[in-house]
């Protein structure tokens, strides 16, 4: 009996030791180390998943569509939020890419993505090419991992085709991540009816904010259009044939650093503590976006949260890693 208790105690101590050792190892990684290791794994995964000479994106690989839009800044913005592109009531040309996070079949459950690039933006950018401002969104208000170290662990598990092991490793459990993925994956009828979130925070002048794209179209898709692999693209086309689509671009101000953290991307900022404030309206009109040429151009497009004015600086280590990881992945994916 004593031996059994001692053995169980020894196992418990070993588990605690390994978990703590693993956490300490994660904390020791620098941004450069994270970028290097993520990049190596992403390139291995991309090469393995190459199809018809096309290297897919590591995240959001299924292109639903790229559409042109109008981004109109409101004229009644609160004074403290009049920063960057929101300084004056202006209208910017925009390009929006809708995508699936993992699945090539639109009819399946998935997290959806939206990326937007504004043109004719005045001012010096933090990184990239002047004249542009990028924003990147998911269809769930938080990421499934809290830190870039956790994301690296997930990428390495995916490289080994052991994604389930990432969530259920007894020495490094990620049960919250598994729960977020379960909740975030949904079936959708149209990308124009989905609400999107930035998931991670950004600067807006002197405050930290998260972004949301909130659908505001009068028309809603109520049943699948041409059900199957490309039904979201078909729904987008059918919607625009009937009438224009719109989204409100809104920001949520951080009001409590403890419950609305910068460094934990898995935490949803409570809208009861701080509601989203609309700052602009995005309008999408009918257009030809599903031609072979348009889809090919969309596939080659790229977005980076650091393609940004200083007023909208990305915050936190997760964002810091994204700058080089996204840039390196884009160069690898589009290399000749």
**How far, in Å, CA of 118 to CA of 84, rounded?**
12
CATH number of the domain residue 159 falls in:
2.40.180.10
Would the pTM count as exceeding 0.85?
A: yes
Phi, psi of 186 (to 5 degrees): -140, 160
Q: How many CB atoms lie within 10 A of CB 75?
A: 8
Residue 4 pLDDT: 55
One digit per residue, pLDDT tens: the chain, 336 residues? 554 544 444 444 344 444 444 554 456 699 999 999 999 999 999 999 998 778 999 999 999 999 999 999 999 999 999 999 999 999 999 999 999 999 999 999 999 999 999 999 999 999 999 999 999 999 999 999 999 999 999 999 999 999 999 999 999 999 999 999 999 999 999 999 999 999 999 999 999 999 999 999 999 999 999 999 999 999 999 999 999 999 999 999 999 999 999 999 999 999 999 999 999 999 999 999 999 999 999 999 999 999 999 999 999 999 999 999 999 999 999 885
Query: What residues make up the domain containing 318?
Result: 2-333
Q: Which of 285, 317, 323 is nearest to 304 (CA)?
A: 323
pLDDT for 19 equals 47
The encoded tokens of residue 198 equal: 């930035």
Q: Which helix (H) or strand (E) holds 99?
A: strand 91-100
Rounded distance between C-alpha atoms, residue 228 and residue 105, angstroms: 7
The predicted pLDDT at position 53 comes to 77
* DSSP-assigned beta bridge partners for residue 69: 94
Short-list 63, 56, 61, CA closest to 95:
63
Domain tally for the chain? 1
Helix, coil or strand: residue 242: helix
């Amino acid at each position: 009996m004593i031996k059994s208790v001692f053995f169980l105690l020894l196992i418990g101590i070993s588990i605690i030791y390994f978990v703590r050792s693993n956490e300490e190892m994660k904390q020791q990684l620098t941004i450069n180390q994270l970028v290097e290791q993520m990049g190596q794994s992403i390139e291995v995964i991309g090469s393995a998943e190459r199809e018809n000479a096309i290297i897919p994106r590591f995240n959001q690989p299924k292109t639903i569509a790229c559409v042109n839009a109008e981004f109109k800044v409101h004229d009644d913005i609160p004074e403290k939020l009049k920063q960057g592109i929101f300084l004056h009531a202006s209208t910017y040309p925009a390009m929006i890419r809708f995508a699936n996070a993992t699945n090539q079949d639109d009819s399946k459950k998935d997290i959806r993505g939206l990326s937007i690039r504004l043109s004719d933006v005045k001012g010096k950018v933090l990184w990239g090419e002047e004249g542009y401002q990028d924003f990147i969104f998911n269809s769930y208000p938080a990421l499934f991992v809290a830190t870039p170290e956790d994301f690296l662990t997930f990428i390495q598990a995916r490289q080994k085709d052991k994604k389930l092991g990432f969530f259920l490793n007894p020495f490094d459990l990620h049960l919250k991540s598994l729960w977020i993925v379960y909740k975030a994956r949904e079936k959708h009828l149209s990308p124009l009816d989905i609400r999107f979130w930035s998931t991670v925070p950004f600067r807006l002048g002197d405050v930290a904010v998260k972004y949301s794209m909130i659908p505001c179209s009068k028309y809603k898709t109520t049943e699948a259009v041409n059900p199957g692999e490309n039904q979201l693209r078909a729904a987008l086309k059918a919607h625009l044939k009937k009438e224009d689509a719109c989204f409100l671009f809104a920001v949520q101000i951080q009001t409590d650093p403890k419950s609305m953290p910068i460094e934990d991307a898995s935490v949803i900022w409570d809208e009861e503590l701080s509601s989203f404030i609309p700052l602009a309206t995005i309008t999408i009109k009918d257009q030809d976006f599903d031609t072979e040429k348009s889809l090919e151009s969309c596939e080659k497009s790229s977005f980076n949260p650091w393609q940004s004015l200083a007023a909208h600086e990305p915050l936190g280590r997760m964002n810091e890693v994204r700058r080089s990881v996204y840039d390196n992945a884009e160069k690898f994916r589009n290399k000749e």
